[in-house]
Structure 1
Amino acid sequence: MLLQKLRCFHFKNYAAIELNFATQLNCIVGVNGAGKTNLLDAIHYLCLTKSAFNASDTQNILHGGMQMGIQGDFLKMGRLYEIKCMISREQGKLLQNNGKEYEKLRDHLGQFPVVFTTPYDAELIQGKSEVRRKFFDSILCQIDPNYLRMLVQYQHLIKHRNTLLKLYAENSRVDRTLIATYDAQLLLLNKELYTLRKNFIEGFYPLLQQHYQYFVQAPEIIDLIYESDIANPNFEQIYSDNFYQDLTLQRTVLGIHRDEFACMLNGYPIKKFGSQGQQKSFIIALRLAQFTSIKQALGFTPLLLLDDIFDKLDEQRIERLVYLITQQYFGQVWITDASGIRSAHIIKNIQANKALFRIDGGKVVENII
């Protein structure tokens, strides 16, 4: 899959911009604050219908503007697709594929998959379990529409069940019959989503090991342990017995929304006992395993966005990553770089269809292909 052209209108710091991308390697250079990451976020928007950073769509509109637009021309399986995303302060969000509006935005997920490494990826190890759940959910939602459908349904039911618990706690009245209708659906979804996550991790873990060893090349043992309440064979009974604790806390305590994915190194949590180099290697291995798993599931390569990747890796790991790019393992790649020195070196020495863009103040002031 390729993104051939990107157009942005009133998106973040870009009043208007149009870029034609190389089919393999695209380097974007510029000082901090120039808008390099914003370009990658625009690509993320086209692929996943939202920003990777701002939960509110309207926060991405250029200051003083009333609306924004992002348009991308994709080539997938020999067919051209024009994807348009429009955000209006008054009318909300509109997403079109070849001129046809989606009835549900989630129907777009997985059509144009993307993997995006950001400076905040350290949270995949250091952050709370919610960060890791979102990471794996983002993969599964791109490769399995059924998983996405069930996850949305589960989140909807949990939200309503928690509202009921709060209402019952405040009024000291409980309608167990109504709660039972929610519980029956939630128990079924818990089992189905747990099974999908468990099966996915079993295939994901070998990819994680492979990529980690490629970057580290040392006799280290990493592990990814999936922990879930649902793994207990008596989960249904425990869930039922836990109702009054749920009522006291006014939220549902047990379920797949509490799952953890423990990142381990030599039998210990890597966030506590791993060096910075080991943690960085684990994080890039997570992202590359994400890339490979999507590629294997969908049968074509997702887009790969590497934001400030040179700040994350040392010289040895950078060389290994560049080697993968030279071998055309990734397909189409974007790299941002503040200094531009490393990018210029890569562009000079790599044999690939490539482009170098220099960004200054929301404008492209140089484009070397």
Structure 2
Amino acid sequence: MILKSLSLLNYKNFDSKTFEFNDTINCLVGNNGVGKTNVLDAIYHLSFGKSYFNPIASQNIKHDEDFFVVNGEYNKENKSEKIVVSLKRGQKKVIKRNAKAYEKFSEHIGFLPLVIISPADRDLITEGSVTRRKFIDSVISQSDKFYLEHLIKYNKALAQRNSLLKYFALNNTFNQDTLDIYNAQLHTFGTEVFNKRNSFLETFIPIFKSRYQAISNGNEIVDLVYKSDLFDNELESLLKKVINKDKAVQYTSVGVHKDDLLFNIDEHPIKKFGSQGQQKSFLIALKLAQFDFIKQQSGVNPILLLDDIFDKLDEERVTQIIKLVDDENFGQLFISDTHAERTENAVKQVHQSYEIFKL
């Protein structure tokens, strides 16, 4: 799968810009603030229907403008595919494939597999469990439509149960029968989500460990540990056990929305005990394992975005990653960097064609 061209209209700092891309390696170079990362984010937008860096959709519209349009032309399985993402202030975002709008954005997820490696990934280590759950969900959703459906239905039932608990508290009332309806829905969809996450991690963790060893040349032992309430008991039973607590706090205190993924090095949290280099290697191994898993499941080479990668890694390690394009048929690669010469030196070491875009 190849992104042939990209057109931006009123997207972030761009008023109007078009790129024709190389099938293999594309380097976006220029000073900080010129929009290199914004180009990568536009490519991400085409795959996921949202920004990787800014969850507030309207803030991706250029200042003093009313709308943005991101337009991508792809070659996938020898077919031309045109994807357009557009947003007008005060209106709903629209995603179109070959001029036909999607009714549900979830139908588009996984159609254009993509992996991004960015300094923002550090949030996976430093932030709370919601960031790590989103990572798991993003990887599974790109190759499993049913997973995304179950997750959406679970979150809807969760919101309804939480509203009901607030209603009970506000009106000093309680109705077990109504609560049982949402408990049953959470149990059904939550169990599906838990089983899929557990099964995914059984496959994913060995891939991740192998990637870490290859990148770090380290002797330390790294691991990912899945934490979930559902290892202890079925969700329906857990919900009944905690009902008094849930009534008091007015939200649902157990379930797969509380799951976490622990990042360990030598059996200790990498956040506290990993050096900066080990943390960087850990995150890159995580993302390359994501690439491997999606490729394995979909049979398609995901597009790989490397955002400001030299800022976080030494040149030798970056060259090692770029060489993977040669060794493993990585598909199409996009790199952003502040130094044109440094980028060119790295990409020259692989025997592939490349294009350098100076912004």
Q: How does the TM-score come out when normalised to structure 1? A: 0.95
Secondary structure of the structure 2 residue equivalent to 1:120: helix
Matches within 5 A, 1:338-353: 338-353=338-353
Partner of residue 244, structure 2? 244
Partner of residue 62, structure 1? 62
Q: Provide the C-alpha distance between the structure 2 equivalents of 1:336 and 1:352, rounded to a whole number of angstroms.
A: 17
Amino acid at match of 1:133: R
Partner of residue 197, structure 1? 197
Q: Provide the C-alpha distance between the structure 2 equivalents of 1:20 and 1:14, rounded to a whole number of angstroms.
A: 16
Secondary structure of the structure 1 residue equivalent to 2:119: coil
* Cα pair distance change 1:248/1:304, threshold 3 Å: same
Query: Once the two structures are superposed, what CA deviation does each residue of 1:63-85 show, in whole Å capped at 9, x if it has no partner?
Result: 11111111100111111101111
Q: Provide the C-alpha distance between the structure 2 equivalents of 1:349 and 1:174, rounded to a whole number of angstroms.
A: 68
Q: Provide the C-alpha distance between the structure 2 equivalents of 1:94 and 1:190, rounded to a whole number of angstroms.
A: 29
Deviation, 1:234, is 5.4
Q: Provide the C-alpha distance between the structure 2 equivalents of 1:70 and 1:37, rounded to a whole number of angstroms.
A: 15
Partner of residue 224, structure 2? 224
Q: Provide the C-alpha distance between the structure 1 equivalents of 2:159 and 2:136, rounded to a whole number of angstroms.
A: 21
- Percent identity, aligned pairs only? 40
Partner of residue 172, structure 1? 172
Q: Provide the C-alpha distance between the structure 2 equivalents of 1:133 and 1:262, rounded to a whole number of angstroms.
A: 11
Partner of residue 131, structure 2? 131
Tell me, yes or no, if the aligned pair for 2:223 and 2:267 is still in contact at 8 Å.
yes
Tell me, yes or no, if the aligned pair for 2:191 and 2:235 is still in contact at 8 Å.
no
Secondary structure of the structure 2 residue equivalent to 1:262: strand
Matches within 5 A, 1:301-316: 301-316=301-316
Matches within 5 A, 1:154-165: 154-165=154-165
Deviation, 1:353, is 2.1
Partner of residue 52, structure 2? 52
Amino acid at match of 1:278: Q
Q: Provide the C-alpha distance between the structure 2 equivalents of 1:269 and 1:115, rounded to a whole number of angstroms.
A: 25
Query: Once the two structures are superposed, what CA deviation does each residue of 1:177-232 show, in whole Å capped at 9, x if it has no partner?
Result: 11100001111212111100000000000110111000111222111110100011
Name the stretch that deviates more: 103-112 or 87-96. Answer: 87-96
Name the stretch that deviates more: 309-318 or 258-267. Answer: 309-318
Tell me, yes or no, if the aligned pair for 1:223 and 1:263 is still in contact at 8 Å.
yes
Secondary structure of the structure 1 residue equivalent to 2:120: coil
Partner of residue 273, structure 1? 273
Partner of residue 319, structure 1? 319
Q: Provide the C-alpha distance between the structure 2 equivalents of 1:87 and 1:343, rounded to a whole number of angstroms.
A: 34
In the alignment, structure 2 segments of 5+ residues that lack a partner are none
Q: How does the TM-score come out when normalised to structure 2? A: 0.97
Name the stretch that deviates more: 285-294 or 327-336. Answer: 327-336
* Cα pair distance change 1:104/1:30, threshold 3 Å: same
* Cα pair distance change 1:89/1:341, threshold 3 Å: same
Name the stretch that deviates more: 119-128 or 25-34. Answer: 119-128
> Is 1:26 matched with 2:8?
no
Q: Provide the C-alpha distance between the structure 1 equivalents of 2:242 and 2:328, rounded to a whole number of angstroms.
A: 52
Amino acid at match of 1:272: K
Partner of residue 362, structure 1? none
Tell me, yes or no, if the aligned pair for 1:347 and 1:356 is still in contact at 8 Å.
no
Deviation, 1:172, is 1.1
Amino acid at match of 2:175: D
Tell me, yes or no, if the aligned pair for 1:125 and 1:271 is still in contact at 8 Å.
yes
Deviation, 1:235, is 4.7
Query: Once the two structures are superposed, what CA deviation does each residue of 1:297-342 show, in whole Å capped at 9, x if it has no partner?
Result: 1011111111011112123322321221232532100000012232
Tell me, yes or no, if the aligned pair for 2:166 and 2:250 is still in contact at 8 Å.
yes
In the alignment, structure 1 segments of 5+ residues that lack a partner are 360-369
Secondary structure of the structure 2 residue equivalent to 1:111: coil
Q: Provide the C-alpha distance between the structure 1 equivalents of 2:18 and 2:236, rounded to a whole number of angstroms.
A: 55
Q: Provide the C-alpha distance between the structure 2 equivalents of 1:323 and 1:348, rounded to a whole number of angstroms.
A: 10
Amino acid at match of 2:203: G
Tell me, yes or no, if the aligned pair for 2:187 and 2:234 is still in contact at 8 Å.
no
Partner of residue 109, structure 2? 109
Amino acid at match of 1:277: G
